Structure 1
Amino acid sequence: MSDQDAPQKDLLAGRLLLLGKFHGAFGIKGEVKLESFTDPPERIFKYQPWTLRDAQGRERACTDARGRATPKGVVARVPGIEDRDAADAMRGTEVWVPRSTLPPPAPGEYYWVDLEGLRVANIEGVDFGTVSHLFSTGANDVMVVQGDRERMIPFVEPDFIKSVDFEARLVTVDWDADF
């Protein structure tokens, strides 16, 4: 990575990522139902400290959250939440973590957030714009590219995604410019 790329790496490292969301009380002792976006779901507890953001956008730091997987999903114990009413008040609160808390992806794997903002061009060199975001369809992931128009390209390697070059900040795709 060149010195010119260092600010982008620092920006990603400090960026907060949404990893979960609370869905109300679990039992009467202050535990909270937690929808985790990690795989496996209980891995969310390894990525702390958390920033908890409520529906009004208010944030507070959280360290030392604990939890477990149950047949009904992940259950969390959050410091300061001691009863059912306090746990239920957490409903809708999001769990955000610094990108820097996540381990480096394995070779050939990518965090979606790291792809956002990269330029996208096809193998003929036609510039499509930049990666806006990705989403999953169940069958495969889809890369949404914003440029002269919006394109949705299946994130399937090597069929459509030919290369991802972070140094060049470029994703090369095998995709017709008219499609």
Structure 2
Amino acid sequence: MPSGLTPSGLPDDAIEVGRILDAWGVKGWLKVLPHSTDPEALFAAKSWFLQAPDAKFRPGFNAFSGTVAISIEEAKTHSDSVVAKVQGLDDRTAAEALRGARIFLSRSSFPAASKDEYYWVDLIGLDVVNREGVALGCVRDLMATGPHSVLCVEYTATQEDGTQAAAERMIPFVSVYVDAVDIAGKRITVDWQPDY
């Protein structure tokens, strides 16, 4: 196991936020592909948790097993990715060994969101209802479309033959359609009708 890695458990509130693309430079820096277009959580967290990549992504990965923790000395934006210096990881070969590793952060280490801003991870799983109280489904995912995000809401639909099947509706996540987001109450209220 490369130096700088400490065997660890994954926190209960762990969220996967990216993966290691490769080494960056010759002094042990890592090049990271964040899952978010706004990687502030990676910059704010001083400890990251790593797990091995899926075998299909990088067969033969053997830098470590289970979960390891790393301490971040510095993380910054570089081009379309993030680069980070890990305490105790001082050469390119050790950094290359981590290529493909999945990066997790404790949700509690994320910086606080501004008013009327939300982390996608906090929206997934919330129930969506319209102004009339009609249940529209549950947020299963979000999709970035450029100018705004779109809620991907899963619901059960009745088919022509009378059977029930999972269906999905898309609701733009913008103030003209979203009236309220209640994270604690696990509910999003929208100005949207079931037949849209």
Equivalent residues of 2:41, 2:111 under 8 A apart: no
How far apart, in 1, do the equivalents of 2:184 and 2:80 lie? 43
Question: For 1:35 and 1:97, how far apart are their aligned partners in 2?
Answer: 14
Alignment of 1:57-72 (within 5 A): 58-70=66-78
- Residue 33 of structure 1 corresponds to 31
Q: Whole-Å Cα distance in 2 between the matches of residues 89 and 74 of structure 1?
A: 18
What is aligned with 2:147? 139
How far did residue 43 of structure 1 move?
Answer: 6.0
C-alpha RMSD over aligned residues: 2.5
Amino acid at match of 1:117: G
Structure that is richer in strand per residue: 2
1:168 aligns with 2:185: yes
**Which protein is richer in helix relative to its size?**
1
Q: TM-score, normalised by structure 1?
A: 0.78
SS in 1 for 2:108: helix
Superposed, 1:101-140 pairs within 5 Å as: 101-140=109-148
Query: Partners in 1 of 2:107 and 2:24 — Cα distance?
Result: 29
SS in 1 for 2:17: strand
Partner of 2:53: 55
Q: 1:58 to 1:138 in 2, by over 3 A?
A: farther
CA distance in 2 between counterparts of 1:121 and 1:37 reads 28
Percent identical: 37
5+ unaligned residues in a row in structure 2: which ranges? Answer: 1-10, 55-64, 157-166
Q: Which residue of 1 aligns with 2:8?
A: none
Asked if 1:18 corresponds to 2:26, the answer is no
**Quick one: distance in 2 between partners of 1:161 and 1:133?**
16
- For 1:128 and 1:138, how far apart are their aligned partners in 2? 24
Residue in structure 2 matched with residue 5 of structure 1 by the alignment: none
Deviation digits for residues 95-153 of structure 1, max 9, x if unmatched? 21111011332221211111122111112222112111212111210111111121111
Q: For residue 28 of structure 1, give the secondary structure of its aligned residue in structure 2.
A: coil
- Indicate conservation of the 8 Å contact 1:42/1:68, yes or no: no
* Number of residue pairs aligned between Structure 1 and Structure 2: 166
Q: Describe the shift of the 1:68–1:131 C-alpha distance in structure 2 as closer, same or farther (beyond 3 A).
A: closer
Structure 1 stretches of 5 or more lacking a match? 1-12
> Any conservation in 2 of the 1:45–1:65 contact (CA below 8 Å)?
no
Is the contact made by 1:42 and 1:74 (CA closer than 8 Å) also made in structure 2?
no
Greater radius of gyration (CA): 2
TM-score w.r.t. length of structure 2: 0.72
Distance 1:58 1:105, change over 3 A: same
